[in-house]
Structure 1
């Protein structure tokens, strides 16, 4: 009998431990689920922006830049290089930047295959094939190409950061002071549509497809409080129904307590944008 117990008891102990662990694990899962269901959804934290301005999109690299969607690689860019990026379509976007060039490159309007790409003395990429140059001026030129949208750091896209700031407030008033870190980091400047009623801060679209670009983002304030956002690219805003302006612009009404005020601004914007187009 003692011999049998010597083998049976350890087995029983192991079974008991296994059962207890499973019960404890199930309890943790159940408790965590109950807590999530009982609590109100927490606010999304507003992003913390560093002291160095973001200004524009940054490459998540190294990244290949091509002559067309799924085309031939023409150059590469290193990680964190600042570029101008268009809106994305089917997972691709165009990017452009100014690079430093030599007198010979300016004369030939081309950077030769194998050449290091530089901004000043800093190497920021490499020419994999010959690169055509645009807007040559004072030792610099613009180069452009196509890249996958995953090669752009999401936290350097203005619309992503702006949406996080707005959504974090959960419908509460949004002040200039609250948005000031965003305005400064992306270099928004006071807009032409500022008057005695409205104060605006603007960011322009990319120069790649339009040498005289229009607005990309226009923040509209009334007495230091954000009332709306004019935009050309998608803004993922919670509980905000986008409205349409002239020439394909969108308008996100943030403070709808004074509908007349919003409609007057929309009319003002439409008149202005048609007159300057």
Structure 2
């Protein structure tokens, strides 16, 4: 199995924030113009989540979010709406997440963010630390800028549901019931899933788990196709897929196979998958 190092995943996280901040600023500008053109204020309505961005790599913050130093711990960091967070597997409503920020030379040398220091991505402030924070790892990003990474805890409810791949997949399949490869392409592209053909004749599209829990993570979500039709999904997290039955796989993976999937195909794929993940370090 392909392994990503803690460094590479943190680097990818840092590189993705700029586009998301630009999207957020553009949305704010449009909303301001529309508000100024309204003849009268509209009646108050419940707040709704912003539409999910075109491309999603990791979850995004739902509004301004305060991250804690541990589950039910002390406030540690505040991040702005739509900031990308690399959240791990949730447990009892909480998840560990990586926070990435650009650093000054002094911060890099001292391995410390002092209380009130900004969280910076691509030269823009996207949050701030609420207490002194020890930087766990430093490196230079793809632009040669000093960058630091540290852990925090986030409530699952503070993440935009439209950026959680398991939630989006369950809703997507309710509307795309044919489950053909062509019908799944927009989902595959939105979450930037990569193709894999190690387990022929099955074709898989996958992404990786967060490095917040493991610096060398395995698969997170795997779409399993046979003859261009989705026959099942394997995930490191639990799913609620209509018309699919759950099977416990090795290495704590969950398999979900649809009722119309041939039993022989299901058993054969599960055997192949288990052999593959058990052979990986």
TM-score where L is the length of structure 2: 0.76
Q: What does 1:153-232 correspond to in 2, within 5 Å?
A: 153-169=160-176, 172-191=177-196, 193-195=198-200, 197-232=201-236
1:56 aligns with 2:61: no
When residues 267 and 101 of structure 1 are mapped into structure 2, their CA distance, relative to the original with a 3 A threshold, is same
Cα offset, 1:194, TM superposition = 4.6
Decide whether aligned partners of structure 1 residues 194 and 269 sit closer, same or farther in structure 2, where only a CA change above 3 A counts.
closer
For structure 1, the 5+ residue unaligned runs are 1-48
Mean Cα displacement is larger for which, 203-212 or 50-59?
50-59
Larger Rg: 1
* Partner deviation per Cα, 1:92-145 (whole Å, 9 max, x = no partner): 222213211112111111111111110021110011111121231111121221
* The one of 242, 245, 250 aligned to 1:246: 250
Structure 2: state its 5+ residue gaps: 1-50, 141-145
Asked whether the equivalents of residues 115 and 132 of structure 2 are also in contact (C-alpha less than 8 Å), the reply is yes
> Are residues 1:65 and 2:67 paired?
yes
Question: Equivalent residue of 1:176, what SS?
Answer: coil
Query: Would the aligned equivalents of 1:57 and 1:83 in 2 still touch at CA under 8 Å?
Result: yes
Q: CA deviation at 1:193?
A: 2.6
- Return the structure number with greater helix share: 1
Q: Deviations over 1:41-73 (max 9, x none)?
A: xxxxxxxx8663122100012111111111111
Tell me the SS of whatever aligns to 2:240: coil
Candidates 78, 81, 87, aligned match of 1:79: 81
Contact 1:173–1:255 (Cα < 8 Å) also in 2: no
Q: Quick check: 1:155–1:161 contact (8 Å CA) kept in 2?
A: yes
Please list, as runs of the form range in 1=range in 2, the aligned pairs for 1:78-97 lying within 5 A after superposition.
Answer: 78-97=80-99
- Partners of 1:218 and 1:255 in 2: how far apart? 18
For residues 220-265 of structure 1, the C-alpha deviation after alignment (integer angstroms, 9 at most, x for no partner) is 1112111111111121112322011111111101263421112111
The question of whether the paired residues in 1 share the 8 Å contact of 2:244 and 2:259 is answered with no
Alignment of 1:237-276 (within 5 A): 237-254=241-258, 256-276=260-280
- Deviation of 1:192 after TM superposition, in Å, equals 5.4
1: CA distance between counterparts of 2:58 and 2:261?
33
Higher relative contact order (CA 8 A, sep 6+): 2
Which residue does the alignment assign to 2:143? none
Contact 2:101 2:120 in 1 (8 A): yes
- SS of alignment partner, residue 106 of structure 2: helix
Counterpart-to-counterpart distance in 1, 2:261 and 2:120: 51
Deviations 1:192-233 (A, max 9, x none): 5353x1111111111011011011111111121111111111
Cα distance in 1 between the residues matched to 2:182 and 2:134: 44
Aligned-residue Cα RMSD (Å) equals: 1.7
1:167–1:238 Cα contact (<8 Å) kept: yes
Aligned to 1:131: 133
- Confirm or deny that 1:148 pairs with 2:155: yes
